[in-house]
Amino acid sequence: DAMVIQNPRYQVTQFGKPVTLSCSQTLNHNVMYWYQQKSSQAPKLLFHYYDKDFNNEADTPDNFQSRRPNTSFCFLDIRSPGLGDAAMYLCATSRAGPNEKLFFGSGTQLSVL
Amino acid sequence: AQKITQTQPGMFVQEKEAVTLDCTYDTSDQSYGLFWYKQPSSGEMIFLIYQGSYDEQNATEGRYSLNFQKARKSANLVISASQLGDSAMYFCAMREWADKLVFGAGTILRVKS
């Protein structure tokens, strides 16, 4: 029944070693989001896709990239993870429009050693 | 400028009592949506309740109600008959036509037995 699926649940990587987090959805929503959430803080939007249109937040570091090969899948690539990138990464999907709620995945907890 | 403000970092409530979590927002859009999400220690983001900017009646979902005061730009969450399982982080969020969901800083709620 899971509608937004994130893999893996926990990811450990080494400092500077590229890592990819994945997200898939069964809802056929046209908007997909990646949020970064550090401990006891609010989720911070990194970027979102409206269909294939990519929207990057102004303060998202270049170290973070994303791909959306089709409606169902979205990937977050961290090219050279630093210690400060250790966080929970949340994927979410929704229909377009201000009245539509976001459906969140369970998140991937990233540790950087 | 901060779009969503939650002024209560932490709240305590006695089991079976009601509690109000405050949220104020700032927008120049006429059409927007206000959302409350619950995040337990497991990390999942659970949708609770939604209020549209054009809705004249306050939203209710079971034990959750939203006290929407448009002129004051406030959207407070009221939880009635608190349960131990309500202990969690609560986020107020707003979505405008840009499709981004922006979160407030959150309020940690602790329910005491």
Q: Where are the alpha helices (DSSP H) in B5-55?
A: none
pLDDT of A1 higher than 90 = no
Cα A31–Cα A35–Cα A40 angle in degrees, nearest 5: 145
State the pLDDT at residue B19: 98
In a mutational test of the A interface, the residue from B38, B101, B103 whose CB has the highest number of chain A CBs within 10 Å is B101
* Least confident piece of the model among A51-60, A71-80, B66-75: A51-60
pLDDT, mean over chain B: 94
Give the integer Cα–Cα distance in Å for A55 and B35: 22
pLDDT of the residue at B2: 65
**Which one of B27, B34, B38, B45 makes the best mutation probe of the A interface by having the most chain A beta carbons within 10 Å?**
B45
At B69, is the pLDDT very low, low, confident or very high (cuts 50, 70, 90)? very high
Quick one: three-class SS letters along A49-83?
EECCEEEECCCCCCCEEEECCCCCEEEEEECCCCH
- Name residues whose C-beta falls within 8 Å of residue A89's C-beta, 6 or more positions apart in sequence: A6, A21, A34, A35, A36, A37, A76, A107, A108, A109, A110
B50 CB neighbours in chain A (<8 A) are 99, 101
pLDDT band at B66 (very low <50, low <70, confident <90, very high): very high
Q: pLDDT tens-digit profile of A11-69?
A: 999 999 999 999 999 999 999 999 999 998 999 999 999 999 999 999 999 999 999 99
Using CA atoms, how far apart are residues B83 and B18, in angstroms rounded to an integer?
Answer: 10
Chain B from 69 to 108: CB within 8 A of any A CB: 89, 91, 95-97, 99-106, 108
Give pLDDT tens digits for B6-31. 999 999 999 999 999 999 999 998 99
- Up-side HSE of residue A68: CA atoms within 13 Å toward CB? 20
Which residues in A lie closer than 8 A to residue B53 (C-beta atoms)?
98
More confident residue, B79 or A2: B79
Residue A17 has φ and ψ, to the nearest 5°, of -90, 120
CB within 8 Å: A42 and B91: yes
Return the percentage of chain B with pLDDT > 90, whole number.
88
